[in-house]
Amino acid sequence: MLAASRNHTVRDLATRLPVVRRTVDRFVPGEGVEDALRAVREIKASGRLATIDTLGEDTTTTAAASAATQANITLVRSLADAGLTDVAEVSLKASALGQALPGGAELALENAQRIASAAAEAGTTVTLDAEDHTTTDATHALVDALRHEFAGTGTVLQAMLFRTEADAARFAGPGSRVRLCKGAYAEPASVAHQSPADVRAAFQRCLAVLVAGEGYPMIATHDPAMITAALGQLLVAGRSVDSYEFQMLYGVRPDEQLRLAREGHRVRVYVPYGVDWYGYYMRRLAEKPANLALLGRALVSR
């Protein structure tokens, strides 16, 4: 599934099938900004927070990177107009902002600065998603540069990468906002833990570094074992409920999201929207075989 997530032929075929589109709805509230705003209003009404991803990645032209930038600026302004910036921030992918193009580091920074500036004006923040390991250094450099001007810029660390414990220590300083997730990309054994048990153990070690630090850990997992372990670590460290948050994906374990929110924990929902849902959707299928079975049943019954 992860290989297919980057295959253009499979993408072109899959995105043309209405039956596939229907199974996508569970994970993506829609293709327009209005759809994202509707989802955020529902999330707000239930006492949760949101981070919104305008879907798109691996941009191959400067024009597409500019369009992605403009789409995020429009999103931020729409959030402000709708009075939702108190609960919603924005998640960005550096590859959507042109990181892989020639001169990409400067281009992605310039585009990210424009979005972060619009976000700051609207009273909210941005977080840079983590993509595959070949981009980690470039994205961390981008976050470092953005944080000079926009201190609230968040970063994402992937526990599966061997390097992440050291990165967690580097990002655990005062004022940092760090999302810790397991990692959604197929990474080679030379750079990443391969077994679920090793990834879980690494997740707990990285989280311990963040929880002991002075920043704001954002614990992004649906895994009951990781949530229990995190609650234990937070309790032992004496962390107050406003000094961390849990994060989960739109459409995944909504009951658990609500349970944690009812218990007084901050819970932020990652809300992706847009036409370019293919790569995101394939990664969700890869995470859970039952999602694939759902798609299989829909295809058979059409």
Q: Quick one: 111 exposed, middle or buried, by C-beta within 10 A (0-12, 13-18, 19+)? A: buried
Active site annotation includes 16: no
Shortest distance, CB of residue 247 to ligand FAD, whole angstroms? 4
Judged by CB under 6 A, the residue of 222, 239, 254, 294 near ligand FAD is 222
Residues 151-170 that bind ligand FAD (CB under 6 A): 156, 158
Residue 249 near ligand FAD by CB under 6 A: yes
Span interacting with ligand FAD, options 33-41, 107-115, 146-154, 175-183, rule CB under 6 A = 175-183
Judged by CB under 6 A, the residue of 15, 253, 254, 292 near ligand FAD is 253
Span interacting with ligand FAD, options 74-82, 162-170, 204-212, 221-229, rule CB under 6 A = 221-229
Whole-number Cα distances in Å, 194 to 139, 168, 182: 23, 20, 11
Whole-number Cα distances in Å, 204 to 198, 232, 257, 267: 10, 11, 20, 19
Active site annotation includes 129: yes
Span interacting with ligand FAD, options 7-15, 62-70, 178-186, 236-244, rule CB under 6 A = 178-186
Shortest distance, CB of residue 221 to ligand FAD, whole angstroms? 3
Shortest distance, CB of residue 131 to ligand FAD, whole angstroms? 7
Long-range contacts at 103-108 (CB < 8 A, ≥ 24 apart): 104/138, 105/138, 105/141, 105/142, 107/62, 107/65, 108/65, 108/138, 108/142
Whole-number Cα distances in Å, 169 to 197, 214, 229: 22, 10, 19
Shortest distance, CB of residue 278 to ligand FAD, whole angstroms? 15
Task: Please give the angle made by the CA atoms of 213, 125 and 229, to the nearest 5 degrees.
Answer: 35
Residues contacting residue 292 through CB under 8 Å, at least 6 positions apart:
1, 285
CA 69 to chain centroid: 17
Rank residues 81 and 138 by Cβ distance to ligand FAD and give the closer one: 138
Residues in contact with ligand FAD by the rule CB under 6 A = 129-130, 156, 158, 181-185, 220-223, 226, 247-249, 252-253, 270, 284, 287-288, 291
Which are the catalytic amino acids?
A: 129, 179
